[in-house]
Amino acid sequence: MNSEERVLNALQRKEIDRIPTFEWSIDKKVIEEICPDCTIDDFIYKMDLDAIVVELDYKKEEIAPGVFKDEWGNLIKFSEEFHALSEGCIKTYKDFKRWDPPEPIALHRFNPFEEAKKRHGGKKALVIHLNDVFSIPRNLLGYGNLFISIASEPRMVKEIVDISAEFNLALAKEAVKRGAKIVFTGDDYAYDKGLLISPKSFDEIFYPGFVKVIQGFKELGLLVIKHTDGYIWPIIEKLIESGIDCLDPIEPTSGMYIPEVKKKYGNKIAIKGNVDCSETLTFGSIDRVVEETKQCIRDGGPGYGYLLSSSNSIHSGVKPENYIAMLETLHEFGSYPIRI
């Protein structure tokens, strides 16, 4: 069984030879320390990861040293680490009415997927990163203005949610034409203590669009991985009822645990996660990483429908030797039948 088959079967909770693994992002510093002069593609093959995560191409222009404007009109300032700081382009409803979204099917948009398909098709699973309906409103308005607008301008937020849904469905249709089989949406709805928005706002403003996006993906034949950090118990059933195939990362530091999620919902969804990247992979000993990885295998592996990964990403603070220990433990103990 090759990597693509392994991931596709795991997402459908079918029989596989071993638990697959991949990450949404792996920091270049970690890659360089483990495999000097490796590209991300080289690293994925060297470490026997099972998927290539494909980011679509959004152009940006530098308007000041280190400051860029993206296709949406947002200002982006890159930090020294992986993430960028952003300032949304919409401050008021008047701004919104003057604003136009970018063209989803721009000529350059799918170049990264075509390149990945050429290099890895039929060998590694290709997972396209799209959005559902939270990240785009958050980026356009900024966190603070989004939260204020939910109360003061709910109509505007709903209209942006609708735009996000239509935009991502248009991308998904084009992706399927080009051979895509798997998407993930990275919109976070929670932090470690609870939801970023009230359950009422989620239900009234975001959830109808969320269901529209997920059902649209499914009607196109795509397998859908839903990523959201944080304490998501208040909305987990709604996320699952939307039709997703997999939930990630079941964040342990937020009170989310694989055994409980698998017991309640393992007959409906696959699960991806969740070796802790905030403490264990960053500050822990190798022995601690090995034991936590083995526990994830015990908790998630039986009955199939499980993909092992970190609890978010392999960020710049992760000890390279700890990531190696996680992968080596999976490859030693993650084959079926599980015998730990």
The whole-chain average pLDDT of the chain stands at 96
What is the Cα–Cα distance from 184 to 329, expressed in whole angstroms?
26
Centre a 10 Å sphere on the Cβ of residue 41 and count the other Cβ atoms it contains. 14
- pLDDT greater than 70 at residue 140: yes
User: Tokens 């510093």 belong to which residue?
Assistant: 29
For residue range 312-325, what is the model confidence (pLDDT) as tens digits?
A: 999 999 999 999 99
Predicted local confidence at residue 325, as pLDDT: 98
What is the Cα–Cα distance from 70 to 58, expressed in whole angstroms?
7
What is the Cα–Cα distance from 150 to 197, expressed in whole angstroms?
9
The two tokens of residue 267 are: 């007959």
Predicted local confidence at residue 116, as pLDDT: 97
The separation between CA 36 and the C-alpha centre of its own chain, rounded to angstroms, equals: 26
Q: 118 near 126, Cβ under 8 Å?
A: no
Predicted local confidence at residue 80, as pLDDT: 67
- pLDDT greater than 70 at residue 169: yes
Predicted local confidence at residue 83, as pLDDT: 62
Predicted local confidence at residue 82, as pLDDT: 55
For residue range 122-133, what is the model confidence (pLDDT) as tens digits?
A: 999 999 999 999
Across 58-69, average pLDDT: 92
- pLDDT greater than 80 at residue 79: no
The two tokens of residue 321 are: 């030797």
**Bridge partner list, 194:** 191
Q: 306 near 10, Cβ under 8 Å?
A: yes
Question: Where residue 86 falls among pLDDT bands split at 50, 70, 90?
Answer: confident
Burial 215-237 (b: 16+ CB within 10 A, else e): ebbbebebbbbbbbbbbbeebbe
Question: Where residue 42 falls among pLDDT bands split at 50, 70, 90?
Answer: very high
Predicted local confidence at residue 293, as pLDDT: 98
Give me the CATH code for the 3-333 domain, please: 3.20.20.210
Predicted local confidence at residue 78, as pLDDT: 78
Across 228-248, average pLDDT: 98
Does an H or E element contain 19, and which?
none
**DSSP-based three-state secondary structure for 18:** strand
Pairing of strands 75-78, 190-191: unpaired
pTM of model > 0.75:
yes
Pairing of strands 75-78, 84-87: antiparallel
- pLDDT greater than 90 at residue 152: yes
Does an H or E element contain 55, and which?
strand 51-55
What is the Cα–Cα distance from 309 to 272, expressed in whole angstroms?
7
Predicted local confidence at residue 66, as pLDDT: 85
Residue 94 burial (C-beta neighbours within 10 Å; 0-12, 13-18, 19+): exposed
What is the Cα–Cα distance from 205 to 261, expressed in whole angstroms?
26
- pLDDT greater than 90 at residue 340: no
Predicted local confidence at residue 77, as pLDDT: 87
Task: Compute the chain's Rg from CA coordinates.
Answer: 20
Helices (H), the chain: 3-11, 28-34, 40-46, 93-98, 111-120, 135-141, 143-152, 154-177, 199-201, 207-219, 236-241, 258-265, 280-283, 286-300, 320-333
Across 254-272, average pLDDT: 97
281 φ, ψ (degrees, to nearest 5) = -70, -20
Q: 219 near 5, Cβ under 8 Å?
A: no
Pairing of strands 194-195, 190-191: antiparallel
Percentage of residues in the chain with pLDDT exceeding 90? 95
The two tokens of residue 270 are: 């696959």
Cβ-based neighbours of 324, under 8 Å, separated by 6 or more? 34
Q: Could you tell me the residue ranges of all domains in the chain? A: 3-333
